[in-house]
Amino acid sequence: MKNIKFTKMSAAGNDFVVVEDSDLCGLAGKICDRRYGIGADGMLLLEKTAKADIRMRIFNPDGSEVDMCGNGARCAAVYYTYMLSAIRYPLIKIETKAGILEAKIDGDMVKLKMSDPHSMKLDISLVIARNDERKRGVTKQSPCSKSEIALGTSCLRNDVMVVNFINTGVPHAVIFVDDLENIDVDKLGRAIRNSERFAPKGANVDFVKVLGKDKIAVRTYERGVEAETLACGTGCVAAAILSGAGRSVDVVTHGGEILKVCFEKKGAKVSNVWLEGSAKIVYKGRMEL
């Protein structure tokens, strides 16, 4: 048995187990299990590095490692500031597989400078068969009937799903919908996440409703978690950039908290992207593994 020290953290309801022991990489699935482990949307491994103040590695509940996590990085910034650093620096640098991120902290509010998004593709036609249709060999069908999902004409064209794609550190498929509340995020998100269009790695799936000039609401199905989460930082950024709602956007997450996304855009080029919101230490503890 191994006795591990951990810290449970949350950013907009996106929760993480933070550890400093690299030997735990292969145990992320057990640690994140909500019934037999600590329970979390992901595990953050924080390590020393010569390239930044801290290195962050992110592991999903299925054990896979991803390049980046916006809410996880905000938690890492708070953890470093209050748990590891003897000095309160005005700017913290975090090394990730997606590049070096910068974070500014004021109490539990964290403003995170993201890497520039890339690979933007708009109006992708996506055809996904329902499970019962797959069994019969039918592939050219709508992902779900109009009576099952209140998608609306904004993303359904002749029964073909219209999605957008952007990589904000991790890949995101973004769908604008008319009725966000009644979307079956787990069912439809899983189908899109596993679409051949996004193979082999898949994509997070964001369902977005524009609420006003500078405000949107987002629900996200996260790959690796394989379920809807209360918030997804990179998903909020992806949705804000593609929404056309403005350059400073309030994003209402499924958990009810509001994250702010700010960015600059010149033509198709998006840069100077910032994600802002709270990140908190929930509790500290030990676990026998």
Strand partners, 165: 121, 173
Do the annotations mark residue 164 as ligand-binding? no
25 as an active site residue: the answer is no
**In angstroms, what CA-CA distances link 154 with 116, 164, 178, 185, 212?**
27, 12, 7, 17, 16
Strand partners, 106: 109
Catalytic residue chosen out of the listed positions 32, 144, 232, 236: 232
Do the annotations mark residue 70 as ligand-binding? yes
Q: How far apart are CA 51 and CA 73, in angstroms?
A: 16
Q: What is the length of the chain?
A: 289
Do the annotations mark residue 247 as ligand-binding? no
Is the separation of the CB atoms in 94 and 73 below 8 Å?
A: yes
69 as an active site residue: the answer is yes
∠ CA 256-259-262 to the nearest 5 degrees? 155
**In angstroms, what CA-CA distances link 185 with 78, 120, 154, 179, 228?**
30, 22, 17, 12, 7
Do the annotations mark residue 226 as ligand-binding? no
Is the separation of the CB atoms in 23 and 14 below 8 Å?
A: no
CB atoms within 10 A of CB 187: 15
Is the separation of the CB atoms in 172 and 164 below 8 Å?
A: no
User: Residue 156: what are its φ and ψ, rounded to 5°?
Assistant: -115, 120
Do the annotations mark residue 7 as ligand-binding? no
Do the annotations mark residue 167 as ligand-binding? no
Cα 226 to chain centroid distance, Å, stands at: 12
Catalytic residue chosen out of the listed positions 32, 69, 155, 236: 69
Q: How far apart are CA 241 and CA 182, in angstroms?
A: 24
Is the separation of the CB atoms in 76 and 47 below 8 Å?
A: no
Do the annotations mark residue 71 as ligand-binding? yes
Is the separation of the CB atoms in 206 and 220 below 8 Å?
A: yes
User: Would you name the residues annotated as active-site residues?
Assistant: 69, 232
Binding site for substrate: which residues?
Answer: 14, 60, 70-71, 204, 222-223, 233-234
Binding site: which residues?
Answer: 14, 60, 70-71, 204, 222-223, 233-234
